[in-house]
Amino acid sequence: MAVESEIRAERDYMDACRAQLTRMREEVRTMLATGAGEGEAVLDKYFNHALRQFRVQVLEELSDIEGAPLFFGRLDCPPGDLVYVGRRGVRDGDGEPMVIDWRAPLARAFYEASQQDPMGVRVRRRFGFDRHGVLTAYEDEPIDRQAEPNGLLAAEIERPREGPMRDIVATIQPEQMRLVRAPLNRTLCIQGAPGTGKTAVGLHRLAYLLYTERERLRRDGGVAVIGPNHSFLAYIRNVLPALGEVEVSQTTIDELIGLSVTAERTDDPRVARIKGDARMAQVVRRHLWSRIQPLGQTVEVEYQHRTWRLSPEEIAEEVDTVLSRGADYGTGRELLAQRLAYLVLRQMERAGNPTATPHQLRRNKAINRAVGRIWPTADPARLVFDLLTDRTHLAHAANGILSADEQDAILQTPRPRSVKAMRWTSLDLALLDEVAALVERPRKLGHVVVDEAQDLSPTQIRAIARRMAGSGTVLGDLAQATSPSAVQDWAEVLAHLDQPDGQIEELTHGYRVPAQVIDFAARLLPHIAPGLRGPASFRHSDDALCITRTMPGEKIAATVTTCRTALSKEGSVGLIAADNDIPQLHRALAENGLKHTVLGTGTETEHLTLVPVTLSKGLEFDTVIVFEPARISQAEERGLQRLYVALTRAVSTLHVVHADALPEPLAQESVVTS
Ligand SMILES: Nc1ncnc2c1ncn2[C@@H]1O[C@H](COP(=O)(O)OP(=O)(O)OP(=O)(O)O)[C@@H](O)[C@H]1O
């Protein structure tokens, strides 16, 4: 049959492309092994090193990702050109393109050609694949006609979910592609309801920017993705490598800024609101600079049996000069030491006896001792420790900035015995970073993608801003903000990022959650984010939502049964519960022989994952079972927001199991109960 022979021909072409990719890889490998193209002279060694590094990276980029087809689309462009579009470019032995990279200018037509603007395309072909990546179908779309609903897109969206996140290059939608391809020089804040593809867009945007602006981004310090926790980072870790991008650092905010300390506890909500507030930056700054003290005595510098004297007035004048320059704390300190050395040198010159060099005097003990007392070295941990645990220090630094009540709230009592004994919070780390950056500017990044940014405090956003050499892509959903110290809106985020030209965009179509489930979860929106609406869902099915009310003594058994039933079907299963309920559910699942992974405790290998609700952000499972919504909503100040996150993780089905009454907005009228 024509279709079958066509599919066979396309598979053959795929095989030919794979063979060429293997050849390309082998060529680079051989060049690496033989050092082809490398010079021999010593002077060439930096060039050789750079060339080798480059080749190693190309080799990684050319690696074949198992199960990821080399192309997913084809453009039929008259008079007779066929252009295949894939995850990376493949060339034949003569250097002719066999597949073009989805980010290449020519590939734009694959996403954008329409009846109104055919862009030289006659037919767009999309390919379908089985779960092993074997080409099994295609769908042709003549561009000169009104677009029909896209069956392969629907199939991709409906696909039962399993394992980590995958790339969406084959089916990126126009509203998403516009953001992926937005120019590098402008920061984007992308608001979007759950499942609208924010994470997907952020990652694909990074891959796109690396393709179009790789050298500039590298020169500016590279790129990074910042996510909320390691479970989330593990979930997205395969997307960029599958797109050939292996050089992207993926990190949490704590890792990005947490010098030598880690966060071991969380602040209570009132404390968090104050500590995360941008006013704390002023408090920290004042605390640091207040350490600069006049010396009040003459400094005697001995050099080769003679003594040179610097009066307190002369020294004070030098301190004022340095302060007026507005240098960093650390630079200022060095500058002061140099200026004191010059003062001595000038005295020597006046005495006609300049026996020392500026460098020698700079290292003089008396000068160093004096600088140490006037302008002490700053250890960020020590400084923030003093600020948060010593009432006098805090009062001095926060006077006129924080009220007495606010100072009381953040003062840590009893005072830990030492800096080492201090148990830091994430928000403390941002304060440490504030100090560290005043001493020495941190390393910059060419572009950052910040996911789940709705939870960041102003101080954390400032920490990111300090590392941005250029622009960023900020993703989030204000309705999912669970952190008490979080910013209020995207305009505030742009202000703290110091990106006044940044643009706020919105994604409105949902690709994850079925309409029935999103409608149920959206009942919470008037209570948690009155200005926001749920997405228009692409997914519809009548039995996507199931609510089971049980007697209190039966809810665990009912949950186990629901898990067992869900496991008999295709796709991943996530059982989401309040963090405090995880141990009892873990025991119950184990006692009933249901193999599962507890999220956050190791590698996720089982079909069933038991998810502490505080780790559920950004994740998705084919079937989600939410255990006792009321216990989730009551566990924290923004418990309803947390519940909204939990209810919007499902791709096919959401089961709610409860014995306690549902939180009021969900209880309004019964939905589907069993
Ligand atoms: N154009 C698309 N084609 C196919 N699948 C898509 C598309 N856009 C998004 N998806 C899929 O929809 C799901 C949700 O995407 P993603 O996680 O990026 O959403 P999100 O807006 O970040 O959600 P959340 O707010 O819950 O973190 C993912 O499985 C993603 O692969």
pLDDT in tens, 52-92: 666 666 666 666 665 578 899 999 998 889 999 998 888 88
The residue with tokens 């519960």 is: 577
> What does the block give as tokens for 149?
């609903």
Q: Using alpha carbons, select from 633, 632, 644, 646 the residue that is nearest to residue 524.
A: 644
Residues lining ligand 1, CB < 6 A? 156-157, 165, 168, 171-173, 176, 192, 194-200, 477, 511-512, 618, 620, 648
**pLDDT value, residue 42:** 59
User: What spacing in Å lies between the alpha carbon of 509 and ligand 1's midpoint?
Assistant: 10
Bridge-based pairing of strands 81-86 and 97-101 is parallel
* Distance, CA of 61 to CA of 25 (rounded, Å): 9
Q: In 3D, which of 94, 96, 159 has the Cα closest to residue 84?
A: 96
Q: What is the pLDDT of residue 119?
A: 93
Judge residue 583's burial from the number of C-beta atoms within 10 Å of its C-beta, 0-12 exposed, 13-18 middle, 19 or more buried.
exposed
User: Model confidence over 496-549: pLDDT tens digits?
Assistant: 999 989 999 999 999 999 999 999 999 999 999 998 887 788 777 778 999 999
Q: What is the CA(171)–ligand 1 centre distance, in A?
A: 11
Query: Which residues does residue 309 pair with via DSSP β-bridges, in sequence order?
Result: 300
Residue ranges for the binding site for ATP? 192-199
Distances (CA, A) of 379 to 437, 459, 488, 577: 11, 19, 32, 41
Q: What is the distance in A from the centroid of ligand 1 to the CA of 355?
A: 71
Q: Whose CA is nearest to atom 25 of ligand 1?
A: 194
Q: At what angle do helices 555-567 and 582-591 cross, to 10 degrees?
A: 60
From 155-164, 450-459, 541-550, the region with the lowest mean pLDDT: 155-164
Query: What tokens were used for 299?
Result: 């400094």
Atom of ligand 1 at shortest distance to CA of 645?
26
CB 528, CB 641: distance < 8 Å: yes
Q: What residue type is assigned to position 646 of the chain? A: A
Instruction: Check residue 305 and give its pLDDT.
Output: 81
Q: How far apart are CA 236 and CA 200, in angstroms?
A: 9
Q: What does the alpha-carbon distance between residue 389 and residue 597 come to, in Å, rounded to a whole number?
A: 40
For residue 203, how far is its CA from the centre of ligand 1 (angstroms)? 11
Average pLDDT on 620-633 reads: 97
Residue 187 structure tokens: 């920061």
Cα 235 to averaged position of ligand 1 atoms, centre (Å): 12
- Rounded CA gap, 225 and 206, in Å? 9
Percent of the chain with pLDDT over 90: 68
- The pTM assigned to this predicted structure is 0.89
Instruction: Yes or no: say if 7 and 136 are a contact pair by the CB < 8 Å rule.
Output: yes
Contact 189, 494 (CB under 8 A): yes
Phi, psi at 523, each rounded to 5°: -60, -20
Q: Band of the pLDDT at 407, cuts 50, 70, 90?
A: very high
User: Which residues carry a binding-site annotation?
Assistant: 192-199
Q: Residue 149 pLDDT more than 70?
A: no
Among 492, 633, 625, CA closest to 563: 625
Tell whether the model's pLDDT for residue 674 goes beyond 60: no
Hey, whose CA ends up nearest to atom 24 of ligand 1?
194
Q: Which of 172, 512, 643, 651 to mutate to test the pocket of ligand 1 (most atoms within 8 A of CB)?
A: 512
Q: What ipTM goes with this model?
A: 0.99
The Cα 663–Cα 601 span in angstroms is: 30
Positive/negative CA dihedral, 395, 398, 404, 408: negative
Rounded Cα gap, residues 376 and 367, in angstroms: 13
**Nearest in space to 456 (alpha carbons), one of 417, 434, 484:** 484
537-588 pLDDT, tens per residue? 877 777 899 999 999 999 999 999 999 999 998 899 999 999 999 999 999 9
Residue among 198, 450, 518 to mutate when testing ligand 1 (max atoms within 8 A of CB): 198
CA of 538 to the centre of ligand 1 (A): 11
Specify the ligand 1 atom closest to the Cα of 167: 31
- 608 contacts 622 by C-beta, under 8 angstroms: no
Rounded distance from Cα 158 to ligand 1 centre (Å): 12
Considering 3-7, 28-32, 645-649, the range whose residues carry the highest mean pLDDT is 645-649
The two structure tokens encoding residue 541? 């099915």
Tens of pLDDT, residues 105-124: 999 999 999 899 999 999 99
- Tokens 């409906």 belong to 158
The atom of ligand 1 lying closest to the CA of 200 is 18
Query: Rounded to an integer, what distance in angstroms lies between the CA atom of residue 632 and that of residue 612?
Result: 10
Q: Best substitution site from 110, 199, 238 to test ligand 1's pocket, by max atoms within 8 Å of Cβ?
A: 199
Strand runs labelled E in 442-585: 445-450, 468-476, 503-507, 509-510, 536-537, 545-549, 573-577
Segment 238-264, tens digit of pLDDT: 899 888 888 899 999 999 997 678 899
DSSP per-residue letters across 565-588: HHHTSSS-EEEEE-GGGHHHHHHH
CA of 58 to the centre of ligand 1 (A): 29
H or E segment to which residue 260 belongs: none
- If one residue of 179, 196, 508 were mutated to test the ligand 1 pocket, choosing by the most ligand atoms within 8 A of its CB, it would be 196
Q: What is the pLDDT of residue 160?
A: 76
